[in-house]
Amino acid sequence: MHVGKKVRAVVHVTQSDGEITTGKSTDEHQLIVKGLPHVSLMSYVEVIGIAESDQSIRAETWTNFGNTFDAQSYNQVCQLANGEFKGLFL
């Protein structure tokens, strides 16, 4: 949907080997992130980069959100920001 555009997502890391990091997005989809250094499993990482496909992002900036991030609330904020309250965010 946003292929080729700059996107931002928070990913719950499930696998991290070298160039490729695999994780679960806050809306339960599998995402592949390229270009991240090694990150500890089960941590949340916010990735900002270009969407190469529906399921992968090439990271440009990333921030470690730690282990105790509330993914559910964040997911709801994403839905509100893209839907009802789009005017405040996009």
Residues at the site binding other proteins, with contacts judged by CB under 8 A: 8, 44, 46, 48, 61, 63, 65-66, 68-70, 73-74, 76-77, 80-81, 84-85, 87-90
If one counts every other C-beta atom within 10 angstroms of the C-beta of residue 49, the result is 20
Q: Shortest Cβ distance from residue 35 to other proteins (Å)?
A: 15
Q: Shortest Cβ distance from residue 18 to other proteins (Å)?
A: 22
Kindly tell me which of 42 and 80 has the beta carbon lying closer to other proteins: 80
Q: What angle do CA 8, 80, 40 make, to 5 degrees?
A: 35
Nearest by Cα to 32 from 59, 53, 52, 55 = 55
